Protein backbone atom coordinates (compact mmCIF):
# COMPACT_ATOMS: atom_id res chain seq x y z
CA UNK A 1 0.00 0.00 0.00
CA UNK A 2 1.30 3.36 -0.91
CA UNK A 3 -0.40 5.66 1.51
CA UNK A 4 2.66 7.02 3.13
CA UNK A 5 4.91 7.41 0.19
CA UNK A 6 5.37 10.98 -0.70
CA UNK A 7 8.81 10.57 -2.17
CA UNK A 8 9.93 13.97 -3.35
CA UNK A 9 9.43 14.38 -7.05
CA UNK A 10 12.10 16.23 -8.97
CA UNK A 11 10.80 19.76 -8.85
CA UNK A 12 10.20 21.49 -12.14
CA UNK A 13 12.32 24.56 -12.55
CA UNK A 14 10.88 27.26 -10.35
CA UNK A 15 10.28 30.33 -12.39
CA UNK A 16 10.39 33.78 -10.90
CA UNK A 17 7.17 34.62 -9.05
CA UNK A 18 4.70 36.43 -11.22
CA UNK A 19 3.59 39.96 -10.50
CA UNK A 20 0.50 38.89 -8.57
CA UNK A 21 2.45 36.57 -6.30
CA UNK A 22 5.04 39.25 -5.62
CA UNK A 23 2.34 41.76 -4.77
CA UNK A 24 0.66 39.35 -2.40
CA UNK A 25 3.94 38.57 -0.66
CA UNK A 26 4.67 42.27 -0.25
CA UNK A 27 1.24 42.94 1.23
CA UNK A 28 1.76 40.12 3.70
CA UNK A 29 5.14 41.48 4.76
CA UNK A 30 3.80 44.98 5.24
CA UNK A 31 0.82 43.78 7.29
CA UNK A 32 3.08 41.72 9.50
CA UNK A 33 5.19 44.72 10.42
CA UNK A 34 2.21 47.07 10.66
CA UNK A 35 0.57 44.77 13.18
CA UNK A 36 3.23 45.75 15.72
CA UNK A 37 4.37 49.15 14.55
CA UNK A 38 0.99 50.82 14.09
CA UNK A 39 -0.40 50.34 17.63
CA UNK A 40 2.86 51.70 19.07
CA UNK A 41 2.84 54.64 16.70
CA UNK A 42 -0.74 55.41 17.67
CA UNK A 43 0.11 55.26 21.37
CA UNK A 44 3.04 57.66 20.94
CA UNK A 45 0.93 59.98 18.81
CA UNK A 46 -1.84 60.00 21.43
CA UNK A 47 0.60 60.70 24.27
CA UNK A 48 2.27 63.55 22.37
CA UNK A 49 -1.12 65.01 21.47
CA UNK A 50 -2.27 64.69 25.07
CA UNK A 51 0.89 66.44 26.26
CA UNK A 52 0.52 69.28 23.72
CA UNK A 53 -3.14 69.82 24.58
CA UNK A 54 -2.29 70.13 28.27
CA UNK A 55 0.64 72.48 27.64
CA UNK A 56 -0.93 74.69 24.97
CA UNK A 57 -4.20 75.12 26.83
CA UNK A 58 -2.47 75.45 30.21
CA UNK A 59 -4.83 72.91 31.72
CA UNK A 60 -4.25 72.58 35.48
CA UNK A 61 -3.01 69.16 36.58
CA UNK A 62 -6.00 68.63 38.90
CA UNK A 63 -8.19 68.61 35.80
CA UNK A 64 -5.96 66.85 33.29
CA UNK A 65 -2.39 65.96 34.22
CA UNK A 66 0.24 65.72 31.53
CA UNK A 67 1.58 62.28 30.59
CA UNK A 68 4.83 63.11 32.37
CA UNK A 69 2.96 63.74 35.62
CA UNK A 70 1.16 60.41 35.28
CA UNK A 71 4.50 58.71 34.74
CA UNK A 72 5.91 60.47 37.84
CA UNK A 73 2.94 59.25 39.84
CA UNK A 74 3.35 55.73 38.52
CA UNK A 75 7.01 55.60 39.53
CA UNK A 76 6.78 57.82 42.62
CA UNK A 77 3.75 56.03 44.11
CA UNK A 78 4.94 52.64 42.90
CA UNK A 79 5.01 51.06 46.38
CA UNK A 80 1.43 52.01 47.13
CA UNK A 81 0.21 51.08 43.66
CA UNK A 82 2.09 47.78 43.57
CA UNK A 83 0.59 46.69 46.91
CA UNK A 84 -2.83 47.65 45.59
CA UNK A 85 -2.24 45.76 42.35
CA UNK A 86 -1.18 42.67 44.32
CA UNK A 87 -4.41 42.70 46.31
CA UNK A 88 -6.63 43.24 43.27
CA UNK A 89 -4.66 40.65 41.33
CA UNK A 90 -4.98 38.10 44.11
CA UNK A 91 -8.74 38.54 44.36
CA UNK A 92 -9.08 38.36 40.59
CA UNK A 93 -7.08 35.15 40.22
CA UNK A 94 -8.73 33.47 43.19
CA UNK A 95 -12.16 34.43 41.87
CA UNK A 96 -11.22 33.12 38.44
CA UNK A 97 -10.10 29.84 39.97
CA UNK A 98 -13.36 29.51 41.88
CA UNK A 99 -15.31 30.46 38.76
CA UNK A 100 -13.59 27.68 36.84
CA UNK A 101 -14.29 25.14 39.59
CA UNK A 102 -17.85 26.34 40.11
CA UNK A 103 -18.70 26.90 36.47
CA UNK A 104 -17.20 23.71 35.10
CA UNK A 105 -18.36 21.72 38.13
CA UNK A 106 -21.93 22.92 37.78
CA UNK A 107 -21.82 22.29 34.03
CA UNK A 108 -20.77 18.68 34.62
CA UNK A 109 -23.37 18.24 37.35
CA UNK A 110 -26.12 19.70 35.17
CA UNK A 111 -24.97 17.52 32.31
CA UNK A 112 -25.17 14.38 34.43
CA UNK A 113 -28.56 15.15 35.91
CA UNK A 114 -31.28 16.72 33.81
CA UNK A 115 -33.36 17.23 36.97
CA UNK A 116 -30.62 19.29 38.62
CA UNK A 117 -30.24 21.34 35.48
CA UNK A 118 -33.97 22.01 35.25
CA UNK A 119 -34.02 22.99 38.92
CA UNK A 120 -31.05 25.33 39.05
CA UNK A 121 -30.16 26.61 35.61
CA UNK A 122 -32.78 29.41 35.66
CA UNK A 123 -31.27 30.71 38.91
CA UNK A 124 -27.79 30.70 37.44
CA UNK A 125 -29.18 32.90 34.68
CA UNK A 126 -30.91 35.22 37.16
CA UNK A 127 -27.68 35.54 39.12
CA UNK A 128 -25.89 36.42 35.92
CA UNK A 129 -28.31 39.01 34.56
CA UNK A 130 -28.67 40.89 37.86
CA UNK A 131 -25.98 43.60 37.86
CA UNK A 132 -23.34 42.74 40.42
CA UNK A 133 -23.19 46.36 41.58
CA UNK A 134 -26.69 45.97 42.90
CA UNK A 135 -26.02 42.68 44.65
CA UNK A 136 -22.70 43.66 46.17
CA UNK A 137 -23.99 45.93 48.97
CA UNK A 138 -26.20 43.08 50.21
CA UNK A 139 -23.32 40.65 50.11
CA UNK A 140 -21.23 42.92 52.32
CA UNK A 141 -24.05 43.09 54.84
CA UNK A 142 -24.22 39.33 55.27
CA UNK A 143 -20.63 38.31 54.66
CA UNK A 144 -18.34 39.42 57.44
CA UNK A 145 -15.03 38.84 55.73
CA UNK A 146 -14.23 41.52 53.18
CA UNK A 147 -12.05 39.10 51.25
CA UNK A 148 -14.80 36.50 51.11
CA UNK A 149 -17.31 39.13 50.04
CA UNK A 150 -15.07 40.39 47.26
CA UNK A 151 -14.42 36.86 46.09
CA UNK A 152 -18.12 36.15 46.04
CA UNK A 153 -18.82 39.27 43.97
CA UNK A 154 -16.12 38.47 41.44
CA UNK A 155 -17.23 34.84 41.31
CA UNK A 156 -20.84 35.76 40.57
CA UNK A 157 -19.73 37.76 37.56
CA UNK A 158 -17.19 35.28 36.29
CA UNK A 159 -18.68 31.81 36.70
CA UNK A 160 -21.50 32.09 34.22
CA UNK A 161 -19.51 32.18 30.97
CA UNK A 162 -17.61 29.11 32.14
CA UNK A 163 -20.88 27.37 33.04
CA UNK A 164 -22.70 28.18 29.83
CA UNK A 165 -19.84 27.49 27.44
CA UNK A 166 -18.88 24.25 29.18
CA UNK A 167 -22.52 23.15 29.13
CA UNK A 168 -22.63 23.87 25.42
CA UNK A 169 -19.40 21.94 24.93
CA UNK A 170 -20.57 18.89 26.89
CA UNK A 171 -23.66 18.78 24.69
CA UNK A 172 -21.75 19.28 21.45
CA UNK A 173 -20.32 15.80 21.20
CA UNK A 174 -20.24 14.40 17.66
CA UNK A 175 -23.35 12.22 17.52
CA UNK A 176 -21.54 9.43 15.68
CA UNK A 177 -18.89 9.31 18.40
CA UNK A 178 -21.67 9.19 20.98
CA UNK A 179 -23.20 6.22 19.13
CA UNK A 180 -19.80 4.57 18.92
CA UNK A 181 -19.34 4.83 22.67
CA UNK A 182 -22.78 3.34 23.20
CA UNK A 183 -22.10 0.45 20.85
CA UNK A 184 -18.83 -0.28 22.63
CA UNK A 185 -20.65 -0.28 25.95
CA UNK A 186 -18.99 2.76 27.53
CA UNK A 187 -20.22 3.58 31.01
CA UNK A 188 -21.19 7.02 32.20
CA UNK A 189 -17.77 7.82 33.62
CA UNK A 190 -15.95 6.73 30.47
CA UNK A 191 -18.32 8.76 28.35
CA UNK A 192 -17.71 11.81 30.50
CA UNK A 193 -13.93 11.59 30.75
CA UNK A 194 -13.02 10.13 27.37
CA UNK A 195 -15.62 11.82 25.20
CA UNK A 196 -17.51 14.74 26.68
CA UNK A 197 -14.75 16.53 28.57
CA UNK A 198 -12.30 16.53 25.63
CA UNK A 199 -15.13 17.67 23.32
CA UNK A 200 -15.98 20.46 25.73
CA UNK A 201 -12.41 21.66 26.18
CA UNK A 202 -12.36 24.24 23.35
CA UNK A 203 -15.69 25.65 24.53
CA UNK A 204 -14.52 25.74 28.13
CA UNK A 205 -11.36 27.61 27.14
CA UNK A 206 -13.44 30.15 25.23
CA UNK A 207 -15.54 30.72 28.34
CA UNK A 208 -12.40 30.93 30.45
CA UNK A 209 -11.06 33.84 28.40
CA UNK A 210 -14.26 35.79 28.97
CA UNK A 211 -14.30 34.85 32.65
CA UNK A 212 -10.74 36.18 33.07
CA UNK A 213 -11.80 39.68 32.09
CA UNK A 214 -15.03 39.46 34.06
CA UNK A 215 -13.36 38.38 37.28
CA UNK A 216 -11.21 41.52 37.15
CA UNK A 217 -14.35 43.61 36.65
CA UNK A 218 -15.99 41.77 39.54
CA UNK A 219 -12.99 42.36 41.80
CA UNK A 220 -12.92 46.08 40.96
CA UNK A 221 -16.65 46.51 41.51
CA UNK A 222 -16.45 44.63 44.81
CA UNK A 223 -13.64 46.88 46.00
CA UNK A 224 -15.56 50.02 45.12
CA UNK A 225 -18.56 48.77 47.05
CA UNK A 226 -16.65 47.33 49.99
CA UNK A 227 -14.39 50.30 50.50
CA UNK A 228 -11.43 49.88 52.77
CA UNK A 229 -11.54 48.06 56.02
CA UNK A 230 -8.37 46.76 57.48
CA UNK A 231 -7.44 44.51 54.63
CA UNK A 232 -5.32 46.91 52.65
CA UNK A 233 -6.61 48.59 49.57
CA UNK A 234 -6.79 47.47 45.98
CA UNK A 235 -6.42 49.43 42.79
CA UNK A 236 -10.07 50.38 42.57
CA UNK A 237 -9.98 51.82 46.06
CA UNK A 238 -6.80 53.74 45.16
CA UNK A 239 -8.54 55.24 42.15
CA UNK A 240 -11.48 56.32 44.28
CA UNK A 241 -9.24 57.70 47.00
CA UNK A 242 -7.06 59.62 44.54
CA UNK A 243 -10.22 61.05 43.01
CA UNK A 244 -11.35 62.45 46.36
CA UNK A 245 -7.95 64.13 46.70
CA UNK A 246 -8.00 65.48 43.15
CA UNK A 247 -4.82 63.48 42.54
CA UNK A 248 -5.83 62.87 38.95
CA UNK A 249 -2.34 61.73 37.94
CA UNK A 250 -2.51 58.85 40.37
CA UNK A 251 -5.98 57.97 39.11
CA UNK A 252 -4.52 57.59 35.63
CA UNK A 253 -1.56 55.63 36.97
CA UNK A 254 -3.79 53.19 38.87
CA UNK A 255 -6.13 52.91 35.91
CA UNK A 256 -3.24 51.99 33.62
CA UNK A 257 -2.29 49.22 36.04
CA UNK A 258 -5.83 47.85 36.02
CA UNK A 259 -5.78 47.87 32.22
CA UNK A 260 -2.35 46.22 32.14
CA UNK A 261 -3.61 43.54 34.49
CA UNK A 262 -6.59 42.85 32.23
CA UNK A 263 -4.34 42.56 29.20
CA UNK A 264 -2.00 40.23 31.05
CA UNK A 265 -4.80 37.94 32.16
CA UNK A 266 -6.16 37.79 28.64
CA UNK A 267 -2.74 37.11 27.13
CA UNK A 268 -1.95 34.40 29.70
CA UNK A 269 -5.28 32.67 29.11
CA UNK A 270 -4.84 32.91 25.33
CA UNK A 271 -1.42 31.26 25.55
CA UNK A 272 -2.78 28.61 27.91
CA UNK A 273 -5.65 27.91 25.54
CA UNK A 274 -3.30 27.66 22.57
CA UNK A 275 -1.05 25.22 24.43
CA UNK A 276 -4.00 23.03 25.34
CA UNK A 277 -5.38 22.88 21.81
CA UNK A 278 -2.41 23.28 19.50
CA UNK A 279 -2.08 19.61 18.71
CA UNK A 280 -5.55 18.94 17.47
CA UNK A 281 -8.06 21.78 17.37
CA UNK A 282 -8.90 23.76 14.24
CA UNK A 283 -8.64 27.07 16.06
CA UNK A 284 -4.97 26.46 16.88
CA UNK A 285 -3.86 25.41 13.43
CA UNK A 286 -1.87 27.63 11.19
CA UNK A 287 -2.93 27.14 7.62
CA UNK A 288 -0.26 25.80 5.34
CA UNK A 289 0.12 26.91 1.77
Neighbours of 109 (CB within 10 A): 12
The least CB distance from residue 226 to another protein, in Å, is 42
Site string for another protein, 175-214 (x = CB under 8 A): -xx-xxxxxxxx---x---xx--x--x-------------
Q: Which is nearer to another protein, 140 or 203 (CB)?
A: 203
Q: Which is nearer to another protein, 5 or 58 (CB)?
A: 5
Q: Among residue numbers 28 through 67, which ones bind another protein (CB under 8 A)?
A: none
Site string for another protein, 267-286 (x = CB under 8 A): ------------xxxx--x-
Neighbours of 237 (CB within 10 A): 21
Pair 257, 108: CB distance under 8 Å: no
Q: Which is nearer to another protein, 61 or 281 (CB)?
A: 281
Nearest to 232 by CA among 219, 223, 244: 223
Q: Among residue numbers 118 through 177, which ones bind another protein (CB under 8 A)?
A: 174, 176-177
Site membership for another protein, residue 71 (CB under 8 A): no
Residues 6+ apart with CB under 8 A from 262: 213, 216
Q: Which is nearer to another protein, 143 or 276 (CB)?
A: 276
Distance CA 104, CA 158 (A): 12
Burial zone of 128 (CB within 10 Å; 0-12 exposed, 13-18 middle, 19+ buried): middle
Q: Which is nearer to another protein, 33 or 176 (CB)?
A: 176
Cα within 13 Å of Cα(208), Cβ side: 23
Distance CA 104, CA 159 (A): 8
Interface with another protein (CB under 8 A): 1, 3-4, 174, 176-177, 179-186, 190, 194-195, 198, 201, 279-282, 285
Amino acid sequence: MTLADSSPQPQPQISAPDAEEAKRARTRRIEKTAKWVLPFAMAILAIVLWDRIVVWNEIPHYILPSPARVWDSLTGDWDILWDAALLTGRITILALGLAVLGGAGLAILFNQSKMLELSFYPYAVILQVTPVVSIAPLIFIYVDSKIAGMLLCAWIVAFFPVLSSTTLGLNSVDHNLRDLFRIYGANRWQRLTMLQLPSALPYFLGGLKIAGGLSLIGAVVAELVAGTGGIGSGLAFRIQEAGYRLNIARMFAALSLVAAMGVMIFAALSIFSHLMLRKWHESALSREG
